[in-house]
Each structure stands twice: as C-alpha cells, then as structure tokens.
Amino acid sequence: CDLFHELYPQPPYSAGHFVKFLKDCWGISATVCYFTNPTELDVKGTWEWDNDRRDSVTIRIESTMTDAQKKLTIIHECFHVIQDIDPSFLAMVEGCHPDIRLRVVERIAEKSAVEAVLPRHEYDRCKREKQTNLQIADRYRVSMRLVSNFRV
C-alpha cells in the first residue's frame, strides 16, 4: 500500500487506479469483466492469468454488487495478483496448510484493499475532525458498512 499511496497520493481512489498500478509497477495488464449469473461463480470476484507470460489478467466481478462493493472487490483481486507474483509473500505462505494458506491470503488481500481505499491515518484524521461515518464514506467513495466496521 505504501508504494501505491506514494504514486497516487490523493484519495479518493477508483478501481482504475489499481488496474493502472498493476500495469505501471508490475507490468501486468488487467481487464475487468462482470458476471451476472450468481451461480456462475460462488464468489464475489475472481481473477486468472490470461497467458503463460503472466503479463495479463482477467478480473471477474459480480455485477449485482453496489459500486462501492465492486470497487473494493476489484482492488482485492488486484492484491491477489500481486500476492501471486511477490516472492516474499509466496515464501511466507509456502509452508502453510492449504486451509490456513487460503485464510491468510484472503485476509491479507481484504485488509490491503481496505487500507488502500481508506488509509488508517486518513480514517483517524476524519474521526479527530468529528466527521460522521456518512461523511467519511462519501469522501472516500466507500460503503457505509466499510466505514462502520473499519478495523485495519
């Protein structure tokens, strides 16, 4: 998240910022597609490599989510792509039991996505300024649920 915030210092962030971040910093092109059939996938979002060169991915997002949920899910999936190519991350989870590895990978992607769209220091500053959760959600273009449950 630090590198992202260094390159893009002004919130609010869109999912497009993260797609651009994948390209600018990692050389990975990303295409976002939406699926509408809830039984097509049993998740809100997923991603896969488009080729063996690992320079292009397709991110699939459920179309029935709110815009704020779509944004967070796209960013979450971008972090999964980074996890898949980061040697230090791969080494960290290498010895984990598969069930534990899945939970660790998901939790880190989720926390990273939340921290990316609403950095902890920004949230704390807003609270010191006595901003309401609604004002914070509006400013950072995130859901009220995310702000209400904020725990990075």
Element (H, E) at 59: strand 56-62
Taking phi over 0 as left and psi of -120 to 50 as alpha, with beta for the rest, 130 belongs to left
Distance of alpha carbon 28 from alpha carbon 20, whole angstroms: 9
Q: pLDDT tens digits, residue range 78-109?
A: 999 999 999 998 999 988 898 899 999 988 88
Length of the chain: 152
- pLDDT tier for residue 152 given thresholds of 50, 70 and 90: very low
What's the pTM value of the predicted model, to 2 decimals? 0.82
Q: pLDDT tens digits, residue range 45-70?
A: 899 999 999 999 999 998 888 888 88
Q: Does the CA dihedral 101-106-109-114 come out positive or negative?
A: negative
DSSP state of 64: T
Q: pLDDT tens digits, residue range 14-27?
A: 888 889 889 988 89
